[in-house]
Chains A and B, each alone.
Chain A
Amino acid sequence: MRALDLSLRGQAAVIAAGEVDPAELLDATLARIEERNPAINAVVATFPEESRAMLASAPDGPLHGVPVVIKDEWPLPWRAQRFGAAELLAPTAPGESGPYRALREAGAVVVGVGNMHELGSGSTGNVSVYGPCRNPWDTDRCPGGSSSGPAAATAAGLVAGAVGADGLGSVRFPAAYCGLTGLKPTFGRSAMAGHHMAAVTTLIVSGPLCTDAADCRLLGSALFGEELPAGDAAGLKIGVVRDTVSEDVTPEVREACEAAIEALRTETGGEIREIELADLEMATLAGILVINGESLGGVPAERLNHLHPDVSPINRGFLKYRMLLPAAAIAQAGRVRTLMRRRLAALFEDVDAIAWPTIPATAPPLEAPLVELPSGTHTADQANVRGAALANLTGIPAISVPVGVGSEGLPIALQLQGAWGTDALLLDAAEALERANGRRWVDARPPLAQAEPTV
């Protein structure tokens, strides 16, 4: 069915025009998942009856009848979230989460649950109670995490868009590894209710993962519950930082991102300004400390002696280690947060967006998620988080945009970060970048999505 390979807005348009029966699109999507998912393990649950019931009562919203995948991070009325883990140290139950309600009110149909990195604790997606998720560009590579399944499902053409969550880069990393556009909204603007940390988190947000910015705008508007209006990003003032985040990256990432920044400047008739943003490493550590402090969740220490045996050793170890984090450091992290928020507020008086690579290297192997950077060999997590934590710590929006394909045939991505509430501007800038590149990178498809469709 041709509609399967349309964009999210394309699917919405052909359904609205009466050219495609959404029930047929749903069946074709389920068949596509059955056909392609075994190679990537992106979708960990489907529920045709519930999806058909959702379609039967779908309102005439902007996503009427469009199938989407949602990360295993929120409950559905018929399924509790598992957070990619054998055990979650928080009570969960089936229910109507905020993202589910937002999708339902927009007329969308939840067709499956997306795999995720266990407990949301990694940027690679290779650890999960469901087994590793795989990158459609190379199934021996990491898809990125923690929103691994939503990204891989969208990149492989199982669906045209998916909902992820971003606590320290978890929408942006898989978007970058899988060649998608992913928006980390301004804190508090997108639907979060029903998340097991919704009441305590000051970092995590829901966000869209789609092939391009226009689809992110459509799905993002549903999650925001308000339209993200389109503009043109004319005269965009782009701030660049000469620091680890932009310099300790592979040569091909650096080259592609610098070219993209220049292309964005030209397309918008804007300018590039070098800016100073000190203490980024402290901001990263502060983000890690804050999210770990918030996720302790009142669990008694003794409870950690009885973890489910199928929780991975790395998370068993880390769940215990975080109990040893000094309270003084977490308090100090709060002051770093204030410091960075004030510095950013001052910077955003001079620039509209700050640009640096989303990921310092392309997707690493699933079996050994390490990256080789000018500074040496690092775990992908250690290297990736340096460029992501600032947005979560301070609350600002950020977007990852594909800007190239590296020597191993894997996507490269640029991140743009804007002032609080400028989510729509970031989408405008991403669209300008797409225009500047002739849509070359957002229209690139991985081998799995280029396979001759049988459904």
Chain B
Amino acid sequence: MRGPLHDPGHPASVGLPAGMEDPDRAEQFVPAGLASLQIEADEIELAVMNAAHEMFWPPIRALLSLDLGDIEPERNPDLSRAPEKV
């Protein structure tokens, strides 16, 4: 079901539409995300974004599924040097 949040002409104020069934599908995620930010896009740009989404979203989902809770990020790391031993 496609609601007004899918239409860049009718931007959402917050979040993604409850009707978005599968964020892995670019044709749902991209227009909804753009609408939520009031960003317009033409067909070519949408095609680029759909391709980008298909490329990046699966590994992003994989990244978000990793349990990295026991890794304490470096605070203001000095990237010119090795990390301090923990």
**A interface residues with partner B (beta carbon < 8 Å):** 186-189, 202, 281-282, 285-286, 288-289, 301-302, 304-305, 313-314, 316-318, 320-321, 323-326, 328-329, 332-339, 341-342, 344-345, 348, 382, 394-395, 419-421
- When the two chains form the complex, which single residue of A317, A323, A335, A420 contacts B48, counting CB atoms closer than 8 Å? A317
Q: What string of 1s and 0s marks CB contacts (under 8 Å) between B48-86 and chain A?
A: 110011011001101110101001111001111111011
Whether B82 pairs with A332 at a CB distance below 8 angstroms is no
B30 in contact with A321 (CB, 8 Å): yes
Please tell me if the beta carbons of A329 and B45 are within 8 angstroms of each other in the complex.
Answer: no
Contact A304 B48 (CB under 8 A): no
Q: Does B14 contact A (CB under 8 A)?
A: no
Whether A285 and B39, one on each chain, are in contact in the complex, defined by CB atoms closer than 8 angstroms, is no
Per the bound structure, the CA–CA distance linking A314 and B48 in Å amounts to 6
Contact at B80–A341, with CB atoms within 8 Å? Answer: no
Q: Is the CB of A420 within 8 A of B34?
A: no
Residues of B within 8 A of A324 (CB): 29-30, 33-34, 37, 49
A190 CB → nearest B CB, Å: 10
A-B contact pairs, 17 of them (CB 8 A): A188-B80, A281-B59, A282-B63, A282-B66, A316-B44, A318-B49, A323-B37, A324-B30, A325-B60, A332-B66, A333-B63, A335-B73, A336-B66, A337-B73, A338-B73, A338-B74, A339-B68
Minimum distance in angstroms from A122 CB to a CB of chain B = 13
- Quick check: B81 and A317 within 8 Å, CB to CB? no
In the bound complex, do residue B79 and residue A302 qualify as a contact, i.e. CB atoms below 8 Å apart? no
Interface size on B, residues (CB 8 A): 39
B60 touches A329 (CB 8 A): yes
Given contacts A320-B41, A342-B83, A348-B82, contact A332 B64 (CB under 8 A): yes
Q: Is the CB of B63 within 8 A of A285?
A: yes
Give A421 to B73 CA distance when docked, in angstroms. 22
**A residues less than 8 Å from B80 (CB atoms):** 186-189, 395, 420-421
Told that A282-B63, A301-B37 touch, could you supply 7 new A-B pairs with CB distance under 8 A? Answer: A301-B38, A321-B49, A323-B37, A332-B63, A333-B63, A342-B83, A419-B82
When the two chains form their complex, are residues A420 and B81 in contact, meaning their CB atoms are under 8 A apart?
yes
State A291–B85 Cα separation when bound (angstroms). 26
Q: Is the CB of A304 within 8 A of B39?
A: yes
B46 sits at the interface (CB 8 A): yes
Q: Which 3 A-B pairs have the closest CB atoms?
A: A317-B48, A395-B79, A188-B80
Chain B residues with Cβ under 8 A from A202's Cβ? 79
Q: Residue B40 at the A interface, CB < 8 A?
A: yes
Known: A282-B63, A317-B47, A321-B49. A188 touches B79 (CB 8 A): yes
The reply to whether B48 and A336 contact each other, CB–CB distance below 8 Å, is no
CB distance from B46 to the nearest CB of A (A): 7
Minimum Cβ distance to chain A for residue B44 (Å)? 4
A326-B64 contact in complex given A318-B52, A320-B49, A345-B83, C-beta closer than 8 Å: yes
Given the interface contacts A187-B79, A285-B63, A317-B41, does A339 sit within 8 Å of B71 by beta carbon?
A: yes
Bound-state CA distance A337–B83 (Å) is: 11
> Once bound together, how far apart are the Cα atoms of A321 and B60, in whole Å?
14
